Amino acid sequence: MWGGRFAEGPAAVMREINASIPFDKRLWRQDLAGSKAHVAMLGAQGIVSAEDAAAIAAGLDTVAAGYEAHGVAEDLILEDIHMQSEARLAEAIGPVAGRLHTARSRNDQVATDFKLWVRDAIDSVEVGLVHFQQALLARAEEHADSVMPGFTHLQSAQPVTLGHHLMAYHEMIARDRSRFADARARMNLCPLGSAALAGTGFPIDRAMTAAALGFDGPTRNSLDGVSDRDFAIEYLTAAAQCALHLSRLAEEFILWASQPFGFISLSDQWSTGSSIMPQKRNPDAAELVRGHSGRIIGCLTALMITMKGLPLAYSKDMQDDKPPVFEAHDLLALSIAAMTGMVESATFRTDRMRGLAESGFATATDLADWLVREAGVPFREAHHITGRAVKRAEELGIALDKLSLSALQAIDARIDERVYGVLSVDASVASRTSFGGTAPVQVRAAIAAARKENGS
């Protein structure tokens, strides 16, 4: 490509380190779409003849058909997808193919291709996350009344419902979707026409190419147009945050599937066995989702470090922008699909959940709240009284709601029989009717609101 300036070809190692075709071949659809938009504009502007523009467009369709049928060859001499496609185009239509590169550079070409790919990636993630939320909604509705222990510090805290717990993850995913949507909106300006770094002297119509490729308009600065990778970093940031949320649910499934918890049984589809212990049923899919989150966070870190010291405009370091994005996208797609499958097929052992909710003095706060509401006791004093009641129940080896009225009144005479209306786990969850609370009526309202928002 630059044979006029160089007398010798590259060393073998240089050829290998310089080639990006092994990974950027994934951009072939975006590369050909960008080229078709570019040549249509060149023809409309009279920069190339209508005849040549039509020949090039037809040739690009021929190249696309070849890629669809046979894939993209990893020819290190044709070091990237752009040179590969140009070579295939020349094979198809001859020397007129050389007119395609008029008024553009590989710098604005790759920035455009990569933006198109990331935009497509965001759209595919959106589809996966919608399906995941639908799975969460279905299981949350099924278990809107199912009592389980709610935890802080992984200690039993207050009873909640399983539906409420699952809806917490629905909220996390809603924020993830909004982050991806924000990133997509912010990135949707087209670099094509920035050329190498300074724009071009040809009378191009950048608005035309931007519109043809579904962008809101062209980028406003040619230096920034070719050197910006914020869109990739924002995609990875959203992916890392989403992976973190998936990992939290995966970790809970891992804990819940263990014998000490016994809250859940994962289906055979999402479990594995042991090569030596026949009794084992391992939550490997959840463990891999948890592990993938670390790799995705690592991809974000890798790209940020690559970009942190680069002067304007393009540097070859930026060739390394794509592998972490591709890796993170593949891992995230797998993680979303796996967690969706696990949520849809899991068996929740609600009897076990209820039993543990009843055994951990989880309604202690309800006793303290009752003392405040019904007896006019300041909360700090009520907290102290309740602590003594918990201690007494613990000494007797019984649940808080099994303490006799005389035992409670021995602790504080202001307690009367009405207190038993709040000490059961069912009464506790039913009383949490504040907006966003765990009461089944609020859980069902949250599910209905979520379905309305999602149009389902």
What gap in Å lies between CA 337 and CA 46, rounded to an integer?
48
Q: Which residues have C-beta within 8 Å of that of residue 328, sequence separation ≥ 6? A: 235, 236, 239, 240, 295, 296, 299, 300
Q: Is 143 a catalytic residue?
A: no
Classify 79 as helix, strand or coil.
coil
Longest dimension (CA), the chain: 101
Query: What b/e sequence results for 337-355 when a residue is b if at least 16 CB atoms lie within 10 Å of its CB, and e otherwise?
Result: ebbbbbbbebebbbeebbe
**Phi, psi (5° rounding) for residue 152?**
-130, 140
Q: Is 329 a catalytic residue?
A: no
Q: What is the CA radius of gyration of the chain?
A: 30
Which one from 70, 153, 406, 434 is the annotated catalytic residue? 153
Which one from 178, 258, 267, 274 is the annotated catalytic residue? 274
Helix (H) or strand (E) holding 211: helix 206-212
Q: How far apart are the first and last CA of the chain?
A: 53
What gap in Å lies between CA 203 and CA 103, rounded to an integer?
9
Q: Which residues are catalytic?
A: 153, 274
